[in-house]
Structure 1
Amino acid sequence: MLIREAQVADISKMSEVRLAVQENVLSTPGSVTYDDYVEYLMQRGKGWVAEVESRIVGIAIVDLQGRNIWALFVHPDFDRQGIGRALHDTMLAWYFSHTNEAVWLGTEPGTRAEAFYRKAGWRAVGVRGNGEIKFEFKAGEWLLREKQQPIEPV
């Protein structure tokens, strides 16, 4: 597996991964556009892709301006191989090297994603208007987590 910075040329394959997931599915698949990806990759933050045999199988995008995780998805054919965790850790390491502000994300309750985030050290801080659990990760918690043993993927 290779983790590398996402490029604009990767967007179509990144979108394929996003649309293939079976949890946290977009209710309107066309609601996330090519231009949205460009904005988050080039203006608002940074993204990464995970490749297996030159195939993009995972994506991660952090919004530095909005202080949130915009995307963290692994193609279902590649679940439970540590890809999500590798992307997660790469993304948070970059984020916290640029700010000490907490980062947040939302995910559907009762999903493997919820379990993943809890196990990775995220703290539930409420419920969003769309029913998702709102999680937060603080810089100090990241530093402590980095000093601990790696957590196995969920």
Structure 2
Amino acid sequence: MNTTIFREATIQDIPQMAVVRNAVKENALSDPSLITPEDYIEFITVRGKGWVCEVNKQIVGFSIPDLVDNNIWALFLHPDFENQGIGRKLHDTMLDWYFAQGKTDVWLGTAPATRAEQFYRQSGWKQNGMYGKEVRFEMTKTDWERIKQSK
């Protein structure tokens, strides 16, 4: 039987978070060394906060919002654990915390024609142009509260 736990990310989780980040099939990093352990530390301890999902003590997904640039720095799920509601719970937990910090809007970029793009559209994010080669999505606190009430 699988034991699934959602909790705040710690510095000790970073090696497993990097494994998940590098395992994705879409939105893959062209060079995994572009994101360092120090980057993770900064984003989960200074710029925002992170959450992980563990299945049988192995991290399979994580999310990190950035309070400085008002965006989503990371929401990644290991491909072997898709379609189980894990990404949705990480997403919702992250947005609840982010907006509770007094923020009124947040944005993210994701590659076009991906499952992530479809996930964000279905989650109520609104497209607002492009961010480089990525689709730029935005969510307001008002929209998030409305979405939560309709669930």
Alignment TM-score, normalising by the size of structure 1: 0.94
1:109-124 correspondence to structure 2 within 5 Å: 109-124=112-127
SS in 2 for 1:110: coil
1:90-129 correspondence to structure 2 within 5 Å: 90-129=93-132
SS in 2 for 1:16: helix
Q: Quote the Cα distance in structure 1 between the aligned partners of 2:76 and 2:103.
A: 24
Aligned partner of 1:132 in structure 2 is 134
- Percentage of identical aligned residues: 53
Alignment TM-score, normalising by the size of structure 2: 0.96
Aligned partner of 1:147 in structure 2 is 149
The runs of 5 or more residues in structure 1 that have no matched partner are: 150-154
SS in 1 for 2:68: coil
SS in 2 for 1:22: coil
Task: Give the number of equivalent residue pairs.
Answer: 148
Q: Among residues 47, 51, 56, which one is paired with 1:48 in the alignment?
A: 51
Q: 37-46 or 96-105: which moved more? A: 96-105
1:134-154 CA distance string (max 9 Å, x none): 0000000010011012xxxxx
Aligned partner of 1:35 in structure 2 is 38
* 1:5 is the counterpart of 2:5: no
- Calculate the aligned-residue CA RMSD, in Å: 0.7
1:48-97 CA distance string (max 9 Å, x none): 00011111000101101110000000000101101000000000000010
Q: Quote the Cα distance in structure 2 between the aligned partners of 1:38 and 1:86.
A: 22
Does the CA-based 8 Å contact 1:67-1:101 persist in structure 2? no
The runs of 5 or more residues in structure 2 that have no matched partner are: none
* 1:14 is the counterpart of 2:24: no
| Aligned partner letter, 2:25 | Q
Q: Quote the Cα distance in structure 2 between the aligned partners of 1:26 and 1:148.
A: 35
Aligned partner of 1:26 in structure 2 is 29
